[in-house]
Amino acid sequence: MNEKQDFTTGSIPVKMTKFMFPILGALILQAMYSAVDLLIVGQFGTTAGISGVSTGSSIMNLVTFTLSALTTGVTVLIGQYLGEGNQNRLGTLIGNAICFFMMLAVILTVVLVIFARPIAVLMQAPEEAVDLTVLYIRICGAGFVFVVFYNFISSIFRGLGDSRLPLIFVTIACITNVIGDLVLVAGFHMNVAGAAIATIAAQAVSVILSLVIIRKKDLPFKMTRADLSFGPEVKKFLNVGTPLALQELLTNLSFLALCAFINRLGLEASSGYGVAQRIQSFVMLIPSSIMQSMASFVAQNVGAGKEDRAKGAMKCGMAIGGIIGIFIFYLAFFHGDLLSAAFTSDELVIQKSFEYLRGFAPEAVVTSILFSYMGYFNGHSWSLFVMAQGLAQSFLVRLPMSYFMSIRPDASLTGIGLAAPTATCFGILLCTIYYIYRRKKA
């Protein structure tokens, strides 16, 4: 490792910030995928198209986020091996992971293409948008191998302490996606189909160019043909990644259930929530970048036996995220209508989006605290607890509260949106108790 990629020495705030900002940049550009799709479909497509992209992208986000959580196991093991000075195990780890994720890509492609319609019906997509939702899922599913390997390649470089290359990869993809949307949706009026094709084409270009870049880069490990197998490292990274993936899967299923609750309230509510989701994805960028950088930062220090430095990183992440979160809260709570107007000119859709954002806005602050805890625990490979608290807050608080708010006679999207920060506060309580327990046990 070079000095920039070594997190076991130097200023914690400086090194964490330098590592975090490229991750944040990559997440911003990733969020622009669905946002650009929705924005251009909203301006040049139909209201049913907005709902189709919203519901379809919710499904794809479920699968993608679950996959990304699974690759965290690779990121954490790489960081720990580097911290231990055990680089000779990296080639075997990455070779084993390539075989596993190739198999997973094939399985996910088959499932998404074949079961697109039952999934859309299960999501209670508005009748006018069912066929468009199915079309979006099938097109994205057909090219899902590129989504799998984008996330896998990025996880490798985050583990190596390099957040700059993933930013380059996603920048290439985002530019390609914007061009594709403008050509296919605005130019050829392909509506939802054009948005889906542009998204997958962008991922394909990103993966191909990233492989070209990797071949020219001097990496701190060697991989042989014998490493390309289902070897012992698969079990090791799955032990870390599987609980996180299961948590992500079930948590996002709770969000899909939320989407279904809102879909029952009508097309305007469904489309308004779809717009709010795009804004919500940007609100969550700071906490997500903190959690991803925290896992890599803490993993290296755990491997090097520097626990005090790992704790300092967690507290630093909470402070950075909380300060930025206050500003984001202000924008979402007081100016959510202006943010929503960037995606559609339909006043009813804007009003429904703003309703949801008023309830959701506190999440910008409290999630930074929760995700700092989670990144710290992930870096220690304590992913079983991360899964448990995630499921507890989703199924004991967020989902019941969302359902209750949606069935009230005067149902408001503000009340439904408030379920998210309420659940997060419950998660913070659980994490604080577990952190105290671990400190006493050490």
pLDDT digits (tens, 9 = 90+) for 35-71: 788 788 888 888 788 888 888 887 888 888 889 889 9
Identify which has the larger pLDDT, 29 or 114.
114
pLDDT at 1 over 60: no
pLDDT tier for residue 33 given thresholds of 50, 70 and 90: low
Q: Are 45 and 185 in contact (CB under 8 A)?
A: yes
User: On the CB side of 19, how many CA atoms lie within 13 Å of its CA?
Assistant: 29
Q: Are 160 and 82 in contact (CB under 8 A)?
A: yes
Percent of the chain surpassing pLDDT 90: 45
Q: Express each pLDDT in 133-146 by its tens digit.
A: 999 999 999 999 99
Rounded to whole angstroms, the Cα distance separating 223 from 426 reads 44
Residue recorded with tokens 């079983």: 384
Rounded to whole angstroms, the Cα distance separating 246 from 188 reads 40
Average confidence score pLDDT of the chain:
88
Residue recorded with tokens 């996880």: 155
Q: Are 99 and 229 in contact (CB under 8 A)?
A: yes
Q: Express each pLDDT in 414-431 by its tens digit.
A: 999 999 999 999 999 999
DSSP state of 342: T
Segment 147-160 mean pLDDT: 89
Segment 104-113 mean pLDDT: 95
Identify which has the larger pLDDT, 38 or 172.
172
Q: What is the dihedral angle through the alpha carbons of 157, 159, 164, 166, rounded to the nearest 10 degrees?
A: 50
pLDDT tier for residue 362 given thresholds of 50, 70 and 90: very high
Segment 394-399 mean pLDDT: 90
Q: Which amino acid is located at 41 in the chain?
A: V
For the ranges 149-158, 263-272, 334-343, 396-405, the lowest mean pLDDT is seen at 263-272
pLDDT tier for residue 169 given thresholds of 50, 70 and 90: confident
pLDDT tier for residue 85 given thresholds of 50, 70 and 90: confident
pLDDT at position 311, please? Answer: 94
Rounded to whole angstroms, the Cα distance separating 76 from 240 reads 8
Q: Is residue 309 within a helix (H) or strand (E), and if so which, with residue range?
A: helix 307-341
pLDDT at 382 over 70: yes
User: On the CB side of 109, how many CA atoms lie within 13 Å of its CA?
Assistant: 15
